[in-house]
């Protein structure tokens, strides 16, 4: 894809080259702005929503992560790498895998303990992606807590301002309520119990609403500048 992976944009180095942005190995980091991050989140959510609710039988990806979300020239997201994907017998019913496979920081706890998978393991992994988009941290960067999901949950439950943990490059971009909403959604999606997590339909609904609000603010800001 023209713009590589989301992982490269959040945690690697990219070079601005006109309208399109090309990947390089050792150049200054150019952070994604909030509207672009939200567009990426919506695109990836649409892909997973189709897999879970539009396919018969449903498909579980099992390895949702930022390096498996690829971006085209318009930063539209494509979910990639289906090497670990599995079809479910019925929607919502778990399948038992012969072995645990996936990436540290993205694995749902019940999958690691029981080897049982359903759509909620993808919801958990996507929740980690949302936390990466809002905090700028890596999935395994949870300081002493080990992983980002546990770190974010602990911070959320502490009652401290969410803006304190938001990525500095978007913290003062003018979209505090939308960013906080997506952060909370990431925490909810990474709940330790599968039943507490939303479906991808519900996740997509929240993201689309945030996208509408962000677009409205962007248009107002553009009109004022003009």
User: 19 pLDDT band (50/70/90 cuts)?
Assistant: very low
Which tokens go with 142? 């949870």
How many other CB atoms sit within 10 Å of the CB of residue 23?
A: 15
- In the chain, pLDDT over 90 holds for what percent of residues? 67
Residue 164 annotated in active site? no
CATH number assigned to the domain with residue range 32-225, chosen from the 4 options 1.10.510.10, 3.30.499.10, 3.40.605.10, 1.10.1370.30: 1.10.510.10
142: number of CA atoms within 13 Å, CB side? 18
Residue 42 has pLDDT above 70, yes or no: yes
* pLDDT tens digit sequence for 49-83: 999 999 999 999 999 999 999 999 999 999 999 88
Helix (H) or strand (E) segment spanning residue 203: helix 200-225
Q: What is the DSSP letter of 16?
A: E
User: Which pLDDT belongs to residue 18?
Assistant: 44
User: 217 pLDDT band (50/70/90 cuts)?
Assistant: confident
The region that residue 75 occupies, defined by phi over 0 for left and psi between -120 and 50 for alpha, beta otherwise, is left
Catalytic residue among 63, 122, 164, 202: 63
Instruction: Name which of 78-92, 142-156, 212-226 the model is least confident about.
Output: 212-226
Higher pLDDT, 218 or 151: 151
Which tokens go with 2? 């023209």
Domain residue limits, the chain: 32-225
């Amino acid at each position: 894809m023209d713009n590589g992976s989301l992982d490269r944009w959040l945690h690697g180095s990219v070079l601005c080259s006109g309208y399109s942005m090309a990947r390089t190995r050792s150049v200054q980091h150019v952070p994604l702005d909030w509207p672009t991050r939200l567009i990426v989140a919506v695109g990836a959510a649409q892909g997973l929503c189709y897999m879970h609710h539009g396919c018969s039988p449903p498909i579980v990806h099992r390895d949702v992560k930022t390096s498996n979300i690829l971006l085209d020239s318009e930063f539209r997201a494509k979910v990639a790498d289906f090497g670990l994907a599995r079809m479910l017998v019925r929607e919502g019913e778990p399948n038992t895998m012969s072995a645990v496979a996936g990436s540290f920081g993205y694995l749902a706890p019940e999958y690691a303990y029981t080897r049982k998978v359903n759509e909620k393991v993808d919801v958990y992994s996507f929740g980690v992606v949302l936390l990466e988009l809002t905090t700028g941290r890596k999935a395994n960067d949870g300081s002493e807590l080990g992983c980002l999901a546990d770190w974010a949950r602990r911070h959320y439950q502490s009652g401290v301002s969410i803006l304190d943990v938001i990525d500095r490059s978007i913290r003062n971009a003018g979209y505090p309520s939308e960013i906080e909403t997506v952060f909370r959604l990431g925490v909810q999606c990474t709940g330790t119990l599968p039943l507490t997590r939303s479906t991808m339909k519900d996740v997509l609904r929240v993201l689309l609403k945030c996208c509408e609000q962000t677009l409205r603010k962007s248009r107002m800001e553009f009109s004022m500048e003009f």
